[in-house]
Structure 1
Amino acid sequence: MGFDNGTTRKHVAFLFLFAILVYFVGNGSLTITDPVESNYTETAKEMLASGDWISPRIYGDYWYDKPVLFYWELIVAFQLFGVTDFAARFFPCLFLTASLFLTYAFGRHLYGARIGLIAAILLGASVEGWYVGHAVITDTTLFFAMSAMLAAFYLGYTRCGRRWVAWYYLASFLAGVAVLTKGPIGLCLPGLIILVFLAWQRRLKELLSLHILAGFVLFFAVCATWYVPMVELHGTAFLDTFLGVHNVLRATVPEHPKTSTWWFYLAVFLGGFFPWSVAGFPAAVKKMLHRDIHLPKDAATRFLVVWAVAVFVTFECMATKYITYTFPYMMPLAILFARYFAAHVQLTRVVAGAMTAFLVVAACVIASPKMDDHSGRLAAEALVPLAQQLEEESGETPIVVSYRTDYQTSLVYYSGILVERLEDRATIERLRPDGISWNAKDVMPFRAIEDLPADRDIILVTGAKGEHGGELEEKDLERSLTGEWKELTTAGNRRLFVRLAEK
């Protein structure tokens, strides 16, 4: 797997330039969006401000949604580049770039340098690869850690190199990294892949290898760096929410029932692996028509097939479905598809060139305004000077509430102002986190309508015209919230109203 010849050096240089062009150019103009990206960035921002790098927190309260590794990445990026959009997207882009080199190296080891290069291009110039490589989410780190772990296991299994046992220990370390990134799935999913592959190979005794068993010691040591302090600091509150809600509940009760359909991940494959899923479709149909489909006999292809199928089936069986959940199958898919596209060089060049150009344009021109539609950045730019003006005039910080619209964590992130979700007392009680339920995600600060003080300035944020909540007018607010309300401005997808304190 070493990069020791001229061809490999040219491939590495090409992939490096490709990654810079497709994954780093235009990053600074991509706004942090709701509802997912902003949770990560606001949590990292608050952890950095608090000086506590162990306990994730949001809105001043502890937050047990995900393990700590991705927050550490964001904190490091914020320290290096400041709290900017470029910094937030730096490590996702970096790990996707690393994943391209990993795909190249592993594909090169299995089938040769040409296959490895094409596989890396298929991964990098795909819709889902581009999306995950730019998104401020855990999936890119998980993808790299899990893919590298499985590749390391396979190299140990095939006794690659004189010191082949080191691959097993590297796999154990990377499994710990995956669990620090997204929880138990970081071990359970690759463990299932390895188990099925070894059963197919009739080599289950490999699991009893001293080096694999000893590797678990390393795995637990890596995990203990964060999980042990969290249990000691937060006890059952951490275990119930992190394991109970964000792992067990997510697997058994759909968070978004509309996506819980049997065809959801088929659509994700076609759209996410575009354009290669479409470009390779004629060959797939031809194979089916000629009944040229058979189980692979060589270990390498078996391993890739088990890897891809196990990921798909596992998440197909889970109740909660997300677009990015099946992303870990992209590396084996890219390597397997590369064998077809290697025989169609001209097609590959044309499609890859067109897709690369489109992705660069998407990052620099298309994505930014679309992302602003799902972000509170523009509203924050209007909110901050307004809040400062009211504070200067009254000598007291105004209360900021979000009313009859989707709550935007990005508004808090960009403005640095705590925004409370305004509801009546009965709704607040219904939404309050209690036990193992999806209410555990409603951690934003609430304020009851009945408790709005008359002697404080109030800034109210609601949906823009045509958006959810955008039908509100001043008279509607005066009727439902009392007092004299004045609409000040529309900023992006939000409108700002103000009610001055009674003199």
Structure 2
Amino acid sequence: MDVRSRVVLFSVVYFLLLLFPGSALHLRETTEARYGEIAREMVVTGNWVEPHLNGIKHFHKPPLAMWGMAAGMELFGINGFGVRFFGIVAAVAALVALYGTARLFLDDEDAVNASLICATSLLFLSSSRLVSTDIYLACFTSLAQLMLFRQLHGVRSPWNAPLYGVFLGLGFMVKGPIIFLFTLLPFLVAKTFDREHRRVFSWRETAIATGAFMAVGLPWYVIVCAKNPQLLDYFVRVQTVDRVATNRFGRNKPFWYFFFIFATTFLPYTLFFVRGVMGWNELGRRIRILFVYIVVPLTVFTLAKSKLSAYILPFYGTASIFTAYALARVDMARLRAVTTVLLTMAAVAVGVAGFVYQPAASFRGQLVLYSAALLVLCVFLRKSCISSNFVRNTAIFALCFSLAVYSAITYLGPYQKGYREMVTAINRFESGEKHDVLMYRAFLPSLSFYRNRLVAISLVGDRDLRFEENEDLQNVYLSSEADVERFLAERGEIFVVTSPAHMETFKRNHHCFATPVFVQSKHSAYFCRKASAPLLSR
């Protein structure tokens, strides 16, 4: 089988593996549930222009990723599989584009290794199944870089410039100007010292790329800013400047945060990447310049106040090319052996987990079987330490390990901030009736997602209402105890989701009876009836 056929085969297998167990995974609070609920509301309301979160306009991110999630649910229904589907498509597209870019720096075998390294690095592999914007941004970053490096080191084509602009525009529609940190900014830095970067696009090609970017990336912004006059200031000042310069969103971390994140989430390839950096003098000029596309975004995110682990995902592609290059040209025999030992320990840990982690005790037998299979793979990995199959066997281990982990997560949903079981219990309790649900001093968007109808929020102070008229939200957002009292009195019976401590406050303030429906440590569900109300049938 030739190299390209192997790439196609791997892409298909990888896609199918990521689909499992998409429908079984719970939406985790708050990120997955937030994006999933925005997409669900697009589907049920038909409003794909102005994103809403629990009935409230939500402009934290442009909508392209949510459009992908909503499109998946249009095809497959409102469920975990549908909302994840096009994120998995984006992951595979990113890897195919990465292979195309890697071939400009490496021979075919090493280019395949670069794709395998990225595909099975911890952060990329986990993000591919997550309901979030990051994998979509990684996809369009990879596609934009392919067009740029084709113009730099491959075939100069009249299509490279417009497609570069198109993919920058699509990335801009996923997360705004952050796409430039992985593309334009390192490109401009490289222009200061690299002759090839200085003459990559002519003035005419630059104008074409700019026009393509504007045609794809700006119309939605123009439309929503025209409908919501405060939005331009919100995008520029709150969502761009404040994210970089302030701790407005409470995400400030130590300066070394992303160095730690990269070291732990580029596993199991981190050691090879570091060895490549240490062997700098053994690397070629072009691969050194490619390193700029890692250093520049890493530096910006290190200096920025707002930090989340997945922010750096889009440069994992270039990091994988760098690592594959280093593996092919720098002696790493000892590091390969060390990696084999570490993966063997990970395989043993899977089998031990069911005996030391109580929630996993009910399926410890499956974990032991997974562990045994992984240990068999470690034998093959050990035998390939000094062969060209090492990366391939490491990738196979990483994929099998991820299957073991995600199979376990499907059992651990109730322990992983997942609320699907709670909604199932609520639906079973009411026997077909549609009583309203109130989140009291809590905001859990997965309740609206799994309920497939809006769940009311009360006494939560971090909802941004600047783009709403308050009278439109009287049965969605309850800002005072008086609003809660009205909501309960009008209905007589409702479900309340809150913490046990807040439930006592709720009963005392609103004089109602409460029957536990689904009890867990942080938030529980109760069926509440106003003490003065007649008993309604259930």
TM-score by length of 2: 0.79
> Are the aligned partners of 2:507 and 2:513 in contact in 1 as well (CA < 8 Å)?
yes
> Are the aligned partners of 2:182 and 2:315 in contact in 1 as well (CA < 8 Å)?
no
Q: Which residue of 1 aligns with 2:316?
A: 330
Structure 2 residue matching 1:325: 3-state secondary structure: helix
Q: Which residue of 1 aligns with 2:456?
A: 420
From 144, 169, 173, the counterpart of 2:166: 173
State the shift of 1:279 in Å: 5.6
From 280, 283, 300, the counterpart of 1:293: 280
> Are the aligned partners of 1:42 and 1:413 in contact in 2 as well (CA < 8 Å)?
yes
State the shift of 1:8 in Å: 2.3
Q: Which residue of 1 aligns with 2:464?
A: 433
Q: Which runs of 5+ in 2 are unaligned?
A: 330-385, 468-472, 534-538
Structure 1 residue matching 2:417: 3-state secondary structure: coil
Structure 2 residue matching 1:28: 3-state secondary structure: coil
User: Which structure 2 residues correspond to residues 126-141 of structure 1 after superposition, within 5 A?
Assistant: 126-141=121-136
> Are the aligned partners of 1:43 and 1:56 in contact in 2 as well (CA < 8 Å)?
yes
Q: Which residue of 2 aligns with 1:369?
A: 412
> Are the aligned partners of 1:401 and 1:458 in contact in 2 as well (CA < 8 Å)?
no
State the shift of 1:296 in Å: 5.7
> Are the aligned partners of 1:42 and 1:412 in contact in 2 as well (CA < 8 Å)?
yes
Is 1:212 the counterpart of 2:241? The answer is: no
State the shift of 1:175 in Å: 0.7
State the shift of 1:399 in Å: 4.4
Q: Which residue of 2 aligns with 1:450?
A: 482
> Are the aligned partners of 2:151 and 2:200 in contact in 1 as well (CA < 8 Å)?
no
> Are the aligned partners of 2:104 and 2:149 in contact in 1 as well (CA < 8 Å)?
no
Distance (whole Å) between structure 2 residues aligned to residue 400 and residue 366 of structure 1: 27
Structure 1 residue matching 2:512: 3-state secondary structure: coil
> Are the aligned partners of 1:15 and 1:100 in contact in 2 as well (CA < 8 Å)?
no
User: Which structure 2 residues correspond to residues 24-423 of structure 1 after superposition, within 5 A?
Assistant: 24-158=19-153, 160-161=154-155, 164-187=157-180, 189-202=182-195, 204=198, 206=200, 209-236=203-230, 238-255=231-248, 257=250, 259-278=252-271, 283=275, 288=278, 292-294=279-281, 298=285, 300-342=286-328, 344=386, 345=388, 347-366=390-409, 369-370=412-413, 373-387=416-430, 398-404=435-441, 406-423=442-459
Distance (whole Å) between structure 2 residues aligned to residue 69 and residue 258 of structure 1: 24
State the shift of 1:421 in Å: 2.9
Counterpart residue type for residue 167 of structure 1: N
TM-score by length of 1: 0.84
Query: Quick one: percent identity of the two aligned structures?
Result: 21
Q: Which runs of 5+ in 1 are unaligned?
A: 1-5, 392-396, 437-441, 464-468
State the shift of 1:13 in Å: 3.5
Q: Residues 309-363 of structure 1, C-alpha deviation per residue, up to 9 Å, x if partnerless?
A: 1121111121100110011110111011112334653543443232121012222
> Are the aligned partners of 1:254 and 1:260 in contact in 2 as well (CA < 8 Å)?
no
Counterpart residue type for residue 303 of structure 2: C
Distance (whole Å) between structure 2 residues aligned to residue 420 and residue 79 of structure 1: 25
Q: Residues 112-153 of structure 1, C-alpha deviation per residue, up to 9 Å, x if partnerless?
A: 111111111111111101111011111111111112112211
> Are the aligned partners of 1:146 and 1:328 in contact in 2 as well (CA < 8 Å)?
yes
> Are the aligned partners of 1:33 and 1:374 in contact in 2 as well (CA < 8 Å)?
yes
Distance (whole Å) between structure 2 residues aligned to residue 29 and residue 432 of structure 1: 30
Structure 2 residue matching 1:110: 3-state secondary structure: coil
